[in-house]
Amino acid sequence: MALTILLIFVLLLPISLANFSPRPLVLWHGLGDSYASPGMLEFTSMIKNVHPNIFIHSVYIEEELDKDRQAGFYGNVNRQIDLVAEQLAEIPELRVGFDGVGFSQGGQFLRAYVERYNSPPVHNLLTFGSQHMGISDIPLCRPFDLICQAARRATKQAVYSSWAQANLVQAQYFRDPANLETYLTASSFLPSINNEDTLRRNGTYSKNLASLNALVLIMFTQDKTVVPKESSWFGSEVVDDFSSEVQRGFRLTSSRSIVPMHLQPLYVEDWIGLRTLNEQGGVIFDICEGEHMQIGDCWEAFVRNWTGEIVENLR
């Protein structure tokens, strides 16, 4: 009798296992990269070594690699997120949800997807060196990167012009601590996903972000590209009109006074659901040692811990 039960179990095991697989994963590359660059393809391969049989989709704006790279510099971010939402909704493997990994600006773009759409839903979202509270300086370009240099010049010349806010990606998350009034009225992307506009605050954003299982915020310790680097942890530079009581909570980092996440009005008043998620234990702060996007082996522990959970196939 016991032998018969064991034989039935062995015969049914392959069928049972076929109903389970790692939760799918979506990647959104960073500035200066493309969805199928050699680096992204290598990273995808390494993830599959960690999680065999995992389905991975790399987000693209343009299928042609050069055009996809250019779209990281030039384009309307809000339209790009709309396009990606349509793209993800059409992939059968993602129908019941996925984990997300965003590199640099790809991280806050995936967060915007969660807040505005989240259908299919995101379970765990990992962001590497992302500019959640924007940037207060335009990062330098690599030598001979003409696309980057042209975009940087144009952004610095008129960051809050209507043209820049419709066409230059970095301008759309530039947050000038000395000119917040103009930022709030002219910036077309970041004030929206951070729900900073008191007249048009969107309750769906907070509901959707709070629905995450985990938001893993990864900062590069020597990051000089994201200014300030604490933006990766929802930190921002001090502005002059903060009260002295609040300023006592600031910490000085690299000659910049930083407002940490828990003192941000965005957090205190829970504009995007960040406080709710944190009080649920869902906000995780971590680091990678080194410069911006010098991931090295740092990625592997995060990928093992926060992606690839075995789930039942319900599609």
Average confidence (pLDDT) over 175-200: 93
Query: What pLDDT score does 146 carry?
Result: 78
In the annotation, is 104 catalytic?
Answer: yes
Handedness of CA 215, 29, 44, 95 (dihedral sign): positive
Residue 50 lies in a domain: yes
Q: Is 182 inside any structural domain?
A: no
Give how many domains the chain has, as a whole number. Answer: 1
Q: What's the rounded mean pLDDT across residues 153-161?
A: 81
Q: Classify residue 298: in a domain, yes or no.
A: yes
pLDDT band of residue 307 (cuts 50, 70, 90) is: very high
Question: Does the bond joining 92 to the residue before it have cis omega, within 30 degrees of 0?
Answer: no
82 catalytic residue (yes or no): no
Query: Sign of the CA dihedral 227, 196, 233, 101?
Result: negative
Q: What is the CATH number of the domain that holds 308?
A: 3.40.50.1820
Residue 274 pLDDT > 90, yes or no?
yes
pTM: 0.88
State the average pLDDT over residues 265-271: 97
Mean pLDDT in the chain? 89
Distance from chain centroid for Cα 16:
35
Residue 244 pLDDT > 50: no
Question: Would you say residue 124 lies in a domain?
Answer: yes
Q: How many C-beta atoms surround the C-beta of residue 120 within 10 A?
A: 18
Residue 155 belongs to some domain of the structure:
no
Amino acid at 207: K
Q: Domain for residue 63, yes or no?
A: yes
**What is the tens place of the pLDDT at every residue in 204-242?**
999 999 999 999 999 999 999 999 999 999 999 986 544
* Domain contains 179: no
Which one of 33, 99, 223, 270 is the catalytic residue? 223
Q: What is the pLDDT of residue 9?
A: 44
Strand stretches in 171-303, DSSP E: 214-220, 236-237, 251-253, 256-259, 283-288
> Is residue 189 in some structural domain?
no
Residue 274 is encoded by which pair of tokens? Answer: 């960040």
Out of 104, 187, 231, 232, pick the active-site residue.
Answer: 104
Residue span of the structural domain in which 263 resides: 22-138+205-312
